[in-house]
Chains A and B, each alone.
Chain A
Amino acid sequence: MKIRSLGYNIKQGFKNIYRNKMFSLASIATMTACLFLFGVFYSIVTNFQYMVKKAENSVCVTVFFDEGLSDQQKSDIGKNIESRVEVASIHYTSAEEAWSTFSKDYFGQYQDLAEGFKDDNPLASSDSYSVYLNDASMQPTLVTYLENMDGISQVNRSDVMASSLSNVAILVGYASVAIIVILLAVSIFLIMNTVVIGVTVRKDEISIMKLIGATDMFVNAPFVVEGVVIGMIGSIIPLIIIRYMYANIINYVLTKFSILNNILAFLPASSIFRVLTPVTLGVGIGIGFLGSILALRKHTNV
């Protein structure tokens, strides 16, 4: 197809949408619904994963040493732990820091009671490494390794249901993918129907075009434009709705459930839309294109 025909075909594509108003609107509405749900699931899953990640990052294994270990030996143990793949970072807590934290927590405002232990730290041999994990599900492997390591007297594992959290995230992810795939299949089917109806309405015109000597590409182009435009509109509308809803819902949740503020950590809209916008537009346009091509392959042979 020549460049000069591009404008003509784009115009014809828009005319198709206009002539076929009701079906075009139905396709746009379905596409909007599908991509809206896609956006909602994406936002939920992404935020959920973010919360899980945060929870996982707080999963921490504490390692205590055998008595009488030198600082060099403790440092060697630290390096050894740090080199493990499961480990994101480690933090050394000296006996003094441990006592200071404990006394603050335990004695609170009665710090003078803690003064009695000033020169005799009850936690003298309680210096430790706090080991943070890359992935909470790796905790059992690491704990087994640490428990069998020389120079370590005790390993305290985190009680957070880290692996269950990971499993829930995976489950929600799979369920979302399944629902989205079904909805997208419905969208393709509807766009195909819209284009087929457009082709049927213009059957005489197409047959004349072909007999005059129009190329297949020239005949098909307006219908592809129609599919792509429907896909594009059907992806822009849900993006606008979700963008508007996202900030409002987060504000609402954080205000209404302020008690959960420590647990509920939401991603900023910009992080969500940096990925969601191109993906939704791509999916919408892609489905419009695919739907029209599939419809045309069957129905424009003259």
Chain B
Amino acid sequence: MIILENVTKEYTSGTPALNGIDLRIEKGEFVFVVGNSGSGKSTLIKLLLKELDATSGKIYVNKKYLNKITRKRLPSLRRDIGVVFQDFRLLPDRNVYDNIAFAMKVVEAPSRIIRGRVLAMLSMVGLLDKYKSFPNELSGGEQQRVAIARALVNEPSILLCDEPTGNLDPENSWEIMKILDEINKRGTTVLVVTHNMEIVQAMKKRTITMNNGKIISDVEKGGYFYED
């Protein structure tokens, strides 16, 4: 569960990236966050990951109060949140299997469960036959599927996706969205920041529209109200 109460984030320039945001996302929800560039979407994700601190207001993620969380307890917060980025951020010197296993190794999972879990993830994203390939041998869609597998291999309860289809063609974008929908059906809370109007309109999910650091609409069954 994610709760933001009157959250403001100002950068040193003084312009607020987020301005008095109130937001509540329940466990198991699928939420789109849309808006133009500079509307505060990416700042929202960074605040939820505690990459940034809010200037004011309160943030709770999975009952953890982020304003007071110590650096030492940060890993336990982040292990329950998977992240997918527009640019995939795969490690170019490791193959598909190792990229996914890497996420389990860094949280010091026992090696006996790593192999089974990685293969299950590869099967879910349909890349079982490409486990030995390196990122530069994969298409953009395939790389994003690896990134999703990596984000989910530690079984987080929340998946944050920052423009996951931003670098993909329509066909691959739909493939990714289908996978995210499937993940959500299995119980994971999914928050997708996107510009892709077609997908948002078609999927009929809860859609939050942001503009100039404020939420200007929050609709239950989809609808992209803002145009660049």
A211 close to B51 (CB less than 8 A): yes
B51 close to A302 (CB less than 8 A): yes
Binds B, one of A2-10, A74-82, A88-96: A2-10
B71 close to A214 (CB less than 8 A): no
Whole-angstrom CA separation of A211 from B51 in the bound complex: 8
Judged by a CB distance under 8 angstroms, whether A216 is at the interface is yes
Given A4-B110, A204-B89, decide whether A213 and B51 contact each other with a Cβ distance below 8 A. Answer: no
B106 close to A4 (CB less than 8 A): no
Q: Which residues of B contact A1 (CB under 8 A)?
A: 108
Chain B residue nearest to A208 in the complex (CB): B89
Binds A, one of B58-66, B74-82, B124-132, B169-177: B74-82
B108 close to A2 (CB less than 8 A): yes
B83 close to A211 (CB less than 8 A): yes
Given A4-B110, A5-B105, decide whether A213 and B83 contact each other with a Cβ distance below 8 A. Answer: no
Whole-angstrom CA separation of A216 from B73 in the bound complex: 10
Judged by a CB distance under 8 angstroms, whether B216 is at the interface is no
Whole-angstrom CA separation of A212 from B108 in the bound complex: 11
Whole-angstrom CA separation of A213 from B79 in the bound complex: 5
Judged by a CB distance under 8 angstroms, whether A53 is at the interface is no
Contact flags A210-248 to B (C-beta < 8 A → 1, else 0): 111111101100000000000000000000000000000
Q: Which residues of A contact B51 (CB under 8 A)?
A: 211, 302
B105 close to A8 (CB less than 8 A): yes
Q: Smallest Cβ distance from B200 to chain A, in angstroms?
A: 25
Judged by a CB distance under 8 angstroms, whether A147 is at the interface is no
Contact flags A192-213 to B (C-beta < 8 A → 1, else 0): 0000000000001101111111
Q: Which residues of A contact B75 (CB under 8 A)?
A: 213-215
Q: Which of B71, B72, B79, B108 has the most CB of A within 10 A?
A: B108
Judged by a CB distance under 8 angstroms, whether B179 is at the interface is no
Q: Which residues of B contact A210 (CB under 8 A)?
A: 78
Chain B residue nearest to A302 in the complex (CB): B51
Q: Which residues of A contact B154 (CB under 8 A)?
A: 212-213
Chain A residue nearest to B104 in the complex (CB): A212
Q: Which residues of A contact B71 (CB under 8 A)?
A: 216
Whole-angstrom CA separation of A212 from B82 in the bound complex: 7
Q: Which residues of B contact A209 (CB under 8 A)?
A: 106
The residues in A between 35 and 70 inclusive whose CB is less than 8 angstroms from any CB of B are: none
Q: Which residues of A contact B49 (CB under 8 A)?
A: 211
Q: Which residues of B contact A216 (CB under 8 A)?
A: 71-72
Q: Which residues of A contact B23 (CB under 8 A)?
A: none
Q: Which residues of A contact B107 (CB under 8 A)?
A: 212-214
Q: Which residues of B contact A212 (CB under 8 A)?
A: 78-79, 83, 103, 106-107, 150, 154
Q: A5-B108, A213-B78 are in contact. List 11 more A-B contacts (CB 8 A).
A: A4-B111, A8-B105, A208-B91, A212-B103, A212-B150, A213-B76, A213-B77, A213-B79, A213-B107, A215-B75, A216-B71
- 5 of the cross-chain contacts (CB-CB < 8 Å) are A5-B108, A204-B91, A212-B103, A213-B79, A214-B75
Q: Which A-B residue pairs are the 6 nearest by beta carbons?
A: A213-B79, A213-B78, A214-B106, A213-B75, A2-B108, A209-B106
